């Protein structure tokens, strides 16, 4: 069964209660046991043979939606492990089915509020790269507090990135872009390398995701923000 940990008090997303279709439920029942990670035990963080261990650092995507970028990158970089975090169940269901159809062995999915994940589950994990593609922009000023990229999340991200690891954020909201830069500039352990992409993985600025497609259709400017953890 797909187990989850969602703290509804931190509302960076809307919890939608529309009923899942039979197909969506079937996808979850069939593929979650193969691809999902349940967070009811911390064991998976400790076991050196497990997916998330310090010997083969993974790339984490927060809020993967329907998983297009996860799937694209994991197909291209088969020797790297990918972990996706999402709270939107129809997206998770779709992504599970795709991962299974494509027989991808290097992706795991976690159904959890990312803020909760960083607080309770990441003591021993260091990621090689953390991607946040098109986070909900919450455009109204009164909703800015619901934006996922806040000082606290960045502190956790720094703690869980390897030295020389990168944080890659993409948005098409100018006001969110400016606010993200204001936040990131405060951390001296992070260096802005947006202009000098250093390796091929960092050059992957096309996400193939739904929100990227929407942004392109609207002809919105897309902002890539890339920071490296320097110590």
Q: Distance between CA atoms of 190 and 184, rounded to whole angstroms?
A: 7
CB-wise, 136 or 191, nearer to ligand SAM?
136
Which residue is nearest to ligand SAM, using beta carbons?
A: 63
State the Cα–Cα distance between residues 118 and 116, nearest whole angstrom. 5
Q: Which is nearer to ligand SAM, 38 or 191 (CB)?
A: 38
- Tell me whether strands 107-111 and 127-133 are parallel, antiparallel or unpaired: unpaired
Residues 19-31 as b or e (16 or more Cβ within 10 Å = b): eeeeebeebbeeb
Among 27, 106, 113, 160, the residue binding ligand SAM under the rule CB under 6 A is 113
Catalytic residue numbers read 136
Site track for ligand SAM across 62-101, x = CB under 6 A = xxxx-------------------xxxx--x----------
- Region binding ligand SAM by CB under 6 A among candidate stretches 56-64, 92-100, 101-109, 190-198: 56-64
Torsion of CA 64, 65, 66, 70, to 10 degrees: -10
For ligand SAM, the closer CB: 156 or 191: 156
| Under rule CB under 6 A, residue 227 binds ligand SAM | no
CA distance 230 to 164: 6
Distance between CA atoms of 41 and 43, rounded to whole angstroms?
Answer: 5
SS3 at position 36: strand
Does the footprint of ligand SAM cover residue 207 (CB under 6 A)? yes
Site string for ligand SAM, 147-186 (x = CB under 6 A): -x--------------------------------------
Q: Are 66 and 138 in contact (CB under 8 A)?
A: no
Would you call 83 helix, strand, or coil by DSSP?
A: strand
> Of 18-26, 129-137, 157-165, 198-206, which segment contacts ligand SAM by CB under 6 A?
129-137
Binding residues for ligand SAM (CB under 6 A): 12-13, 62-65, 85-88, 91, 113-115, 133-136, 148, 207, 209-212
């Amino acid at each position: 069964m797909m187990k989850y940990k969602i703290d509804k008090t931190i509302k960076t997303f809307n919890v939608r209660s529309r009923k899942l279709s039979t197909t969506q439920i079937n996808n979850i029942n069939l593929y979650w046991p193969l691809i999902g990670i349940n967070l009811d035990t911390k064991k998976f963080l400790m076991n050196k043979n497990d997916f998330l261990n310090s010997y083969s650092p993974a790339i984490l995507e927060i809020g993967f939606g329907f998983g297009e970028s996860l799937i694209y990158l994991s197909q291209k970089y088969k020797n790297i492990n990918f972990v996706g975090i999402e709270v939107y169940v129809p997206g998770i269901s779709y992504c599970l089915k795709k991962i299974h159809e494509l027989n991808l062995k290097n992706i795991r999915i976690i159904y959890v509020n990312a803020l909760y994940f960083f607080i309770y589950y990441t003591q021993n994990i260091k990621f090689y790269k953390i991607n946040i593609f098109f986070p909900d922009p919450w455009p109204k000023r009164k909703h800015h507090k619901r934006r996922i990229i806040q000082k606290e999340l960045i502190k956790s991200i720094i703690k869980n990135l390897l030295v020389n690891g990168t944080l890659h954020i993409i948005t098409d909201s100018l006001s969110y872009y400016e606010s993200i830069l204001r936040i990131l500039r405060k951390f001296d352990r992070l260096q802005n390398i947006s202009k000098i992409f250093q390796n091929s993985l960092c050059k992957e600025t096309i996400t193939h995701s739904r929100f990227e497609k929407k942004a392109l259709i609207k002809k919105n400017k897309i902002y890539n923000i890339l920071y490296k953890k320097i110590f």
